[in-house]
Amino acid sequence: MDKKTKYNYGKIRKKLEAALDPDRFEHTLGVAVTARMLARIYGADEEAAYTAGLLHDCAKNVSHKDKIKMCEKADVCISETEMANPGLLHAKAGAILAKKEYDIEDEDILNAISSHTTGRPGMSLLEKIIFVADYIEPGRDERPELMKLRKEAFDDLDKCVIDILEATLKYLTDTAKAIDPATSNTYDYYLNNGESDE
């Protein structure tokens, strides 16, 4: 994978291993490999998928205060929900960090990092792949719906996106955790529009 590629994956992995806790780093590798497999199935750019998968959580261990600062400095909109729960900002902050610290210029990769937790209306194929790979990667806890979603991911990506959004909203509601409006908006968009506007 490291031969004849646009990015120095050895360097990226080393930097990530230093920045993330061991469990998060393992999760990151799982997402990257899963994203590359999905890209192969759906005809997306495998290198872009692997790169976005590697970097999707690059800001996860950044302090809440610094995540807010990073987003404010970059003029990235912070919702009320995100301000009250700054952990939700790791995706947006991750896109900023990927550009600044890992020299990623590809807008599709940056968007995939930025939208990987909530999704967004009108996602690109790469964005959907990262969104799904983050949820189904092999190291994830065995929630009841995971087996079904893992199979579905390789058969019908669009349906899998909707089902993950639904499972996420149910989990957040059942556990009384904050729901980012972006998740609800994305779910409504795909539920009502079916195929995405690619």
Tens digit of pLDDT for each residue in 1-49? 445 678 899 999 999 999 999 999 999 999 999 999 999 999 999 999 9
Place of tokens 């998740």: 183
Position 63 pLDDT exceeds 80: yes
The pLDDT assigned to 4 comes to 62
Q: In this structure, are residues 134 and 38 in contact, taking their beta carbons and an 8 Å threshold? A: no
pLDDT of residue 2: 47
198 band by pLDDT with thresholds 50, 70 and 90: very low
Distance CA 63, CA 59 (A): 9
DSSP H/E element including 7: none
Q: In angstroms, rounded to a whole number, what is the distance separating the alpha carbons of residues 84 and 79?
A: 9
Domain ranges of the chain: 9-193
* pLDDT (tens digit per residue) in 155-177: 999 999 999 999 999 999 999 88
For 90-144, write each residue's pLDDT tens digit: 999 999 999 999 999 999 999 999 999 999 999 999 999 999 999 999 998 877 7
Cβ(64)–Cβ(87) below 8 Å: yes
Asked if the model's pLDDT at residue 72 lies above 70, the reply is yes
pTM for the full model?
0.93
Question: What pLDDT is recorded for position 35?
Answer: 98
Sequence-ordered list of residues with C-beta below 8 angstroms from that of 71, at least 6 positions apart, any chain: 77, 78, 89, 92, 93, 96
Checking if the pLDDT of 145 tops 90, the result is: no
Q: Is the pLDDT at 196 greater than 70, yes or no? A: no
| 9-193: CATH class | mainly alpha
- Residue 72 Cα distances to 65, 89, 142, 155, angstroms: 11, 11, 36, 40
